[in-house]
Structure 1
Amino acid sequence: MNSRDLVLGRIRRALADVPPGERPEDVPVVRDYAQTHATRTPEQRADLLAEHLADYRATVHRSTPADLPALIARLLADRGTRRLVVPDGLPQRWLSALDSSIERVADRPGQTARELDAVDSVLTGCAVAIAETGTIVLDGSADQGRRRITLVPDHHICVVRVPEQVVDSVPQGLARLDPARPQTWVSGPSATSDIELDRVEGVHGPRTLEVVLLAG
């Protein structure tokens, strides 16, 4: 008996008591597991998100709506940004303090990786942020744009609205997401390690991730 026969035999034995014609969707799945590991106030939830983002080497900033345009302008200036990708649905007020020398690059169909690699930074919103894992989820909504614009440029500024976009856990985050939309789950800057465990950042996405927690 080869490995294939062994695996198929185990599958047949596991399915021996399944009635003919039964489909997976015919059997209800009990989902009574814990939705979160603690009861937190909105402030505690935001603090936990900030802590975990920092653990993943993201840089976390806090802002009010009134201060956000100046903060974004400062972060881009500190980075030396000259070309910025801007999703179509991004609130224009967020860009109101930008230096006129910064070129705003539209998110458009057909944009190539080479074109996006020539861009310095990208600014987006998010769909949801998960405090317990320090994860930002993008779903291609109007303020986030296509997946490619957050995977190629080396610097990503992501604005998270607090408290409405911050949840405790992954199950709570999934409940807010449309599974038909293209999702990108981000936990800190893109990074990988080789066999010697030497960390290399910027392999699968931005080398630098800055998250702005926007309260109020």
Structure 2
Amino acid sequence: MSSRDLILGRVRRALADVPKDDTPPVPERPGRDPQYEQAVDRTYLREHGDRTTEQTVDLLAENLADYRAIVHRTDTGGLPGVIARLLAERGSRTVLVPSGLPTEWLAEAADATRVPDSAASTPHELDEIDSVVTGCAVAIAETGTIVLDGGPDQGRRRITLVPDHHICVVRVPGQVVSSVPQALDRLDPARPLTWISGPSATSDIELDRVEGVHGPRTLEVVLVTGD
């Protein structure tokens, strides 16, 4: 029996004499136990304003930049050249590559040595990597947030937390939504979700901003159309 089964068993025993709620359950979602789902009022606004797809993407780019992410725009054909240029400008000799990253994305980055995402990599080894390139699960325009869920083109959570330079590719418009509620509809809560709003940063009591504290110091987001 797993720890999860043990805990849920204790919860069921504790609730055995509690009358069932007569409100209808919310729709089942992966990773949730429908026995304990309760109806929730979902009449709140799911997005603010009536934007076109182009305006939504523009809002995403604006909010990403406001969080000090560096935003680039290109199409599918231009993506390999953009990634190669960003790695070259950074002087990256090594680039960490998730197992499911499309090979064509790095087709023009001939000078950077590919390092595969591996469970055996130590934190010290990851810290020696110059850059990491990933895709994403979804991007939220209203908050300027990129969400990773450990998919094949994103790899393990730690590969985007230890290296100092992260290039994240967002497919436009397919991976862009307006709001957090819309993003949650696309995400599986049982997966390892990482929510990124700009490069890692913190401020001390004097409000001095320090970047790269618990994640990459530089986040570059490439918005790719036609994918």
TM-score (norm 1): 0.88
Aligned counterparts of 1:132 and 1:145: Cα–Cα separation in 2: 26
2:215 matched residue in structure 1: 205
- How far 1:23 sits from its partner (Å)? 6.2
Aligned counterparts of 1:108 and 1:141: Cα–Cα separation in 2: 14
Question: What's the secondary structure of 1:61's corresponding residue?
Answer: strand
1:132 matched residue in structure 2: 142
Aligned counterparts of 1:75 and 1:31: Cα–Cα separation in 2: 42
- How far 1:28 sits from its partner (Å)? 1.6
Is 2:168 the partner of 1:143? no
- How far 1:39 sits from its partner (Å)? 1.4
Cα RMSD over matched residues? 1.6
- How far 1:199 sits from its partner (Å)? 0.2
Is 2:18 the partner of 1:21? yes
2:41 matched residue in structure 1: 30
Aligned counterparts of 1:26 and 1:119: Cα–Cα separation in 2: 43
1:87-166 mapped onto 2 (5 Å cutoff): 87-99=98-110, 101-166=111-176
- How far 1:79 sits from its partner (Å)? 0.1
- How far 1:27 sits from its partner (Å)? 3.8
Aligned counterparts of 1:190 and 1:23: Cα–Cα separation in 2: 44
Aligned counterparts of 1:171 and 1:112: Cα–Cα separation in 2: 36
Is 2:181 the partner of 1:179? no
Question: What's the secondary structure of 1:72's corresponding residue?
Answer: helix
Aligned counterparts of 1:46 and 1:37: Cα–Cα separation in 2: 14
1:40 matched residue in structure 2: 51
1:76 matched residue in structure 2: 87
2:9 matched residue in structure 1: none
Q: What count of residue pairs does the alignment treat as equivalent?
A: 198
- How far 1:83 sits from its partner (Å)? 0.6
Question: What's the secondary structure of 1:43's corresponding residue?
Answer: helix
- How far 1:110 sits from its partner (Å)? 2.3
Aligned counterparts of 2:150 and 2:204: Cα–Cα separation in 1: 31
Aligned counterparts of 1:111 and 1:206: Cα–Cα separation in 2: 17
Long gaps (5+) in structure 2: 1-16, 22-35
- How far 1:111 sits from its partner (Å)? 1.5
Partner deviation per Cα, 1:125-153 (whole Å, 9 max, x = no partner): 00000000000000000000000000000
Is 2:82 the partner of 1:85? no
Counterpart residue identity of residue 213, structure 1: L
- How far 1:30 sits from its partner (Å)? 1.4
2:69 to 34, 37, 58: 58
Aligned counterparts of 1:123 and 1:168: Cα–Cα separation in 2: 24
Counterpart residue identity of residue 97, structure 1: E
Aligned counterparts of 1:93 and 1:110: Cα–Cα separation in 2: 26
- How far 1:22 sits from its partner (Å)? 3.9
- How far 1:112 sits from its partner (Å)? 1.2
